[in-house]
Amino acid sequence: MIRQVAWLMAIVVASGLSGTVTADTPYFAITIYPPRAQLDSSNDRQRVVVQARHADGRTVDVTAAAELALSNPKLAAIDKTAGQGILLRPLADGEGTIRAAVGGLVQEIPLKVVSASSPAPLSFRRDVMPVFARAGCNMGSCHGAARGKDGFRLSLFGFDPAGDHHRLTREMPGRRIDLASPRESLLFLKATGQVQHTGGKRCEPDSELAATLVRWIEAGAPDDPGPDPSNSVPKLIALDLYPPAALFEGEGAAQQLVAVARFADGTDRDVTDLAWFASNNDRSAKVSADGMVTSGNRGEAFVMARYDTLTVGVPLVTIPKGLSFTFQSEPALPGATEGAKVIDDLVAAKLASLRMTPAPVCDDEAFLRRVSIDLVGLLPTPADRARFLTDSAPDKRARLVDELIARKEFVEIWVMKWAEILQIRSQGNDVSPKGAILYHQWLDRRIAANEPVDRMVRDLLTASGGTFASPPTNYFQLERNTLKLAENVAQAFLGTRIQCAQCHNHPFDRWTMDDYYGFAAFFAQIGRKRGADPRETIVFDSGSGEVNHPVTGKPAAPKFLGGEAPKVADRDRREALAAWLTSPDNPFFARHVANITWAHFLGRGIVHEPDDARVSNPPVNGPLLDELGRRFAASGWDFRGLVRDIVTSRTYQRSCEPNESNRLDETNFSHALVRRQRAEVLLDVIAQVTDTKNKFPGLPLGARAVQVADGRTTNYFLTTFGRATREDVCSCAVKMDPSLSQALHLLNGDAANDRIRQGGLIDRWLKEGRTPTEIIDELFVRCDCRMPTERERIETLVTVLDSPDRRQALEDVFWALLNSPEFIFNH
């Protein structure tokens, strides 16, 4: 995926990031896919497509128009009648090339044919199981349901081929499979719709899928040979989807995809007919069951193919036909860090590929308010505003960022964010309120000291000792179930959700049950005992305990997600895991922390949701995420440095005013997003502007909402505005959507009105002899970090002066400001 976006970027950069698209531009290059063709048996074949590229990056599927030729025509037959693409069939063993020519452009790829005269043996796992997947038989809504369907069960998405073979051949002998009369087998009759089938017709009687089933039954419905059939067929090691990207111009353009599976024995296979295709945005690019993509409206889509346990995808972009577009490159902002410049370059590259013009940088007032809320969870005071506006230094924004990052409120914001990820809360007898507070304090001290994030997470994951004496051990108290703990760790620190793979191979991601139980095995040996204090638990490495794989019933060996199985004998398994997880080479961790941080400041992750990275949910800008992660790890995991990079970038400081080209864009950071302030921050800024104090159970008067240590602390305002209870590791636990109950609470509840009264600011200012105009100006500056417009000032003043109760009228103005979207949102 990353490679694919990089390719897209490369062509954009090659085209100079600007230009005008016209239909008659000649092709710049053509590419044959796959990059090499290999035929391994007499019944093997390979689909080939040819994609042409314009200099500005637009692509066209030119397979039909291409002239194809073999360097040695005896090797293979070219079948152009196959419908989509071109099909190569083996004729004789040997090596050569395939040559394609379109519009004067020529490209060659190697071709290799082996075993051209001998057919590949039919394999249950390689040939029959994919039929069930492609025909949808083993989906959750069909026979893949936990109890099967209509008396017949298959393992969901085929996680248990041995079990499926047993059920097909040993349950109801003679019915599902009729060896004497294969075409009378229910398996064939139901799938082809020849008898009543709740799932309807899944394939035609003369289709290849049906033919595979019949051939298998004719052969005696064998399982794969050997004492361990699962090891008798070569393991699938990769699935490639071609072409790696496409940039469609206008509606109705088409591109055939080719899916090639690669196996451990070096063979490959065209699985375009066996793969399952889907698009995440049918409006921009729709894909047929056979892998034919058709473009639609302007936008991006990610088209996926799934075969066996693997899912891969390619990004596809559709731009309007005949769009005139020029991308203006912009200089870095004064004081921007090197990282900020890299961010800006990579975001610009993506925007240019989408033909989007980004919004300009916001003005000083908007920046001051935005960055104050984001960095310290407070509004700038009128004095802060005056000082900042009168500062004429060009790098004043960068200096302001440095000042804010040094404040303890900055630490508190990130303690709150990490407290959500670590789910810090009291929980029955497992975590006492004292344990939760000590856990919170531990986190606070780490973040205050800007301790490298890798060390902090490593210390957390390997924590042993008492939950009071060694507070990060509370992490293992908050979730004592081994499997759930493993899921939490994957989601919290790797940004991936492996929950599905507990029961079946993940349908939209790479995780299999082997991955899941191998990962869970790292947490199988956590021991717990009561501490000297009855509220305390000692967490330790017990050195024994296993997680059994439900399919094999045997202990799963600890194995890193997508990585190797380390040696863990005589050591705390968690140490091995933590070392791998926080290694700079880990493909997930640094990118995930960078993405969480990015999402905080930009309102949306590069992967969205930040903890749901999967094959089918790719980053919108892979190179940007890669680079953020790489730089973060290379910096010694300097979190403040990462924040500085993001906040001093032009990308962060863009205005939220969209232009014609990016009006619909919510994902590519072409303009700032208007974001509702999160619950804790909103309550704190209301307390700040009204000069009142918060009171939370278990905290002294005046504590800020962001300081709440125990996630179990209840508060009506915070609940209404979607504060996370920290019961769930999911980043979605923080609700940022505005709702009617929030509006009503601000309008009618005690949050605005009572606090205005309680703070008594209006009274105080009137007693000080301030004029209504001065007070109105002060209120606007306090709440919105700006002076009122002339019209706002006059209209407000008239209302106040007309009122018999001036104090009441000014309080009404205050109330109206607190209820305005401009106050509630960060923009």
Partner 1 sequence: MRALPDILVALVAALTAIAAAAAPTIGRIEPPGAPAGAEVEIRLVGGDLGDPQELFFEEGTIAVTSVTGVDEKTVKATLRVPADCPPGGHRFRIRTRDGLSDLRTFRVGGFEQVQEAEPNDAATTAQIVPLGRTIVGVVKAEDVDCFRVHLPAGGRIAVAVDALRLDQEMFDPHLELVDSRGFVVAACDDHPLLGQDAMLAATVAEEGDYVIRLRESAYGGNDGCVYLVHVGDFPTPHLAWPPAGPPGAELDVEWLGDPGGPFRQKARLPDTVPLDGIAEIHPQREGRTSPVGVPVRVTTAPAAAEAEPNDEPAKATQATAPGGCLGRLDKPEDVDWYRIVAAKGTSWHVRGWGRRLGSPIDLVVNIHRDNEKRERITGNDDTDGPDSAAKVTAPEDGSFLVRVADHLRRGNSDFVYWIEIEPAAPAVMVSVPPGRSNSQERLVAVVPRGNRSAVVFNAMRADCDRAATIACQDLPSGLTATAAPLPSNAPAAPVVFEAAADAPTATALSSIAVKAADDGYLIGNLRQTTELVFGPPNNATYRTSVSDRLPIAIVEPAPIRISVDSPAVPLVRRGSLGLRVRLERFDGFDGKVRLGFPFKPPGVSAPASVEIAGEESEAVYPLNANADAPLGTWQVVVTAAARPKGKDRDDATPLVSTLLVPIEVAEPVVQLAADKASVEQGCETTIVWKVTKPGDFVGAAKARLLGLPAKTEAPELELQPGATELAFPVKAAADAPPGSHPNVFCELRVPRGDAWIVHAMPPTQLRIDTPLPTPAEGSSP
Nearest one of 508, 30, 50, 8 to 242, comparing CA atoms: 50
Among 3, 170, 235, 529, binds partner 1 (CB under 8 A): 529
15 or 462: CB nearest partner 1: 462
Rounded to whole angstroms, the Cα distance separating 187 from 138 reads 13
Alpha-carbon dihedral 326, 26, 303, 516, rounded to 10 degrees? -90
Binding region for partner 1 (CB under 8 A) out of 43-51, 150-158, 529-537, 718-726: 529-537
Binding-residue pattern over the window 106 to 145 for partner 1, x denoting contact by CB under 8 A = ----------------------------------------
Buried b (16+ CB within 10 A) or exposed e, 764-785: ebeeeebebeebbbbbbbbbbb
Are the C-beta atoms of residues 472 and 463 closer than 8 Å to each other?
yes
For residue 383, how many C-alpha atoms fall within 13 Å in the half-sphere facing its CB?
0
Burial of 133 (0-12, 13-18, 19+ CB in 10 A): buried
468 or 717: CB nearest partner 1: 468
> Could you tell me what percentage of the chain is helix, strand and coil, using 3-state DSSP and rounding each to the nearest 5?
40, 15, 45
The backbone torsions φ and ψ at residue 372, rounded to the nearest 5 degrees and listed phi first, read -65, -45
448 or 816: CB nearest partner 1: 448
Among 183, 286, 480, 535, binds partner 1 (CB under 8 A): 535
Nearest one of 276, 263, 267, 292 to 209, comparing CA atoms: 276
Please state the closest distance from residue 527 (CB atom) to partner 1, in A: 9
**Geometric angle at alpha carbon 76, from 74 and 78, rounded to 5°:** 120
Among 99, 197, 434, 455, binds partner 1 (CB under 8 A): 434
DSSP E strand boundaries for 384-522: 465-466
Rounded to whole angstroms, the Cα distance separating 447 from 85 reads 56
**Binders of partner 1 in range 703-762 (CB under 8 A):** 710
Where do we find the tokens 């009264």?
A: 757
Are the C-beta atoms of residues 313 and 305 closer than 8 Å to each other?
yes
318 or 432: CB nearest partner 1: 432
Is the alpha carbon torsion for 704, 707, 713, 717 positive or negative? positive
Task: Give yes or no for residue 432 binding partner 1 (CB under 8 A).
Answer: yes
Among 438, 443, 547, 756, binds partner 1 (CB under 8 A): 438
Q: Is 221 left (phi over 0), alpha (psi -120 to 50) or beta?
A: left
The backbone torsions φ and ψ at residue 427, rounded to the nearest 5 degrees and listed phi first, read -155, 100
Rounded to whole angstroms, the Cα distance separating 98 from 63 reads 13
Among 166, 530, 554, 764, binds partner 1 (CB under 8 A): 530
**Binders of partner 1 in range 247-286 (CB under 8 A):** none
463 or 783: CB nearest partner 1: 463
Binding-residue pattern over the window 694 to 713 for partner 1, x denoting contact by CB under 8 A = ---xxxxx--------x---
Q: From the CA atom positions of the chain, what is the Rg in Å? A: 31
Rounded to the nearest 10 degrees, the angle between the axes of helix 589-602 and helix 453-461 is 120
Task: Give yes or no for residue 688 binding partner 1 (CB under 8 A).
Answer: no
Where do we find the tokens 């009441």?
A: 808
Please state the closest distance from residue 439 (CB atom) to partner 1, in A: 11
Task: Give yes or no for residue 569 binding partner 1 (CB under 8 A).
Answer: no
Binding region for partner 1 (CB under 8 A) out of 212-220, 350-358, 534-542, 742-750: 534-542
Please give the structure tokens belonging to residue 102: 């379109």
Please state the closest distance from residue 453 (CB atom) to partner 1, in A: 23
Among 532, 553, 567, 791, binds partner 1 (CB under 8 A): 532
Among 71, 464, 548, 819, binds partner 1 (CB under 8 A): 464
Please state the closest distance from residue 471 (CB atom) to partner 1, in A: 10
Nearest one of 13, 53, 103 to 245, comparing CA atoms: 53
Please state the closest distance from residue 568 (CB atom) to partner 1, in A: 17
Size of the site for partner 1 (CB under 8 A): 27
Say which DSSP state 792 is in.
Answer: H
Please state the closest distance from residue 398 (CB atom) to partner 1, in A: 26
402 or 533: CB nearest partner 1: 533
64 or 703: CB nearest partner 1: 703
Task: Give yes or no for residue 765 binding partner 1 (CB under 8 A).
Answer: no
**Geometric angle at alpha carbon 333, from 327 and 334, rounded to 5°:** 155
Please state the closest distance from residue 433 (CB atom) to partner 1, in A: 4
360 or 531: CB nearest partner 1: 531
Is the alpha carbon torsion for 761, 763, 766, 771 positive or negative? positive
**Binders of partner 1 in range 538-567 (CB under 8 A):** 538, 540
Among 250, 320, 360, 433, binds partner 1 (CB under 8 A): 433
Binding-residue pattern over the window 485 to 524 for partner 1, x denoting contact by CB under 8 A = ----------------------------------------
Among 452, 465, 587, 749, binds partner 1 (CB under 8 A): 465
Binding region for partner 1 (CB under 8 A) out of 260-268, 535-543, 588-596, 666-674: 535-543
**Chain mean position to CA 544:** 35
Please give the structure tokens belonging to residue 719: 């609940």
56 or 444: CB nearest partner 1: 444
Task: Give yes or no for residue 437 binding partner 1 (CB under 8 A).
Answer: yes
Are the C-beta atoms of residues 566 and 560 closer than 8 Å to each other?
yes
Binding region for partner 1 (CB under 8 A) out of 181-189, 428-436, 497-505, 724-732: 428-436
171 or 533: CB nearest partner 1: 533
Among 302, 468, 598, 632, binds partner 1 (CB under 8 A): 468
191 or 461: CB nearest partner 1: 461
SS3 62: coil
Task: Give yes or no for residue 531 binding partner 1 (CB under 8 A).
Answer: yes
Q: Is 355 left (phi over 0), alpha (psi -120 to 50) or beta?
A: left
Task: Give yes or no for residue 469 binding partner 1 (CB under 8 A).
Answer: yes
Nearest one of 795, 656, 776, 682 to 382, comparing CA atoms: 776
- Residues forming the site for partner 1 (CB under 8 A): 428-429, 432-434, 436-438, 464-465, 468-469, 529-535, 538, 540, 697-701, 710
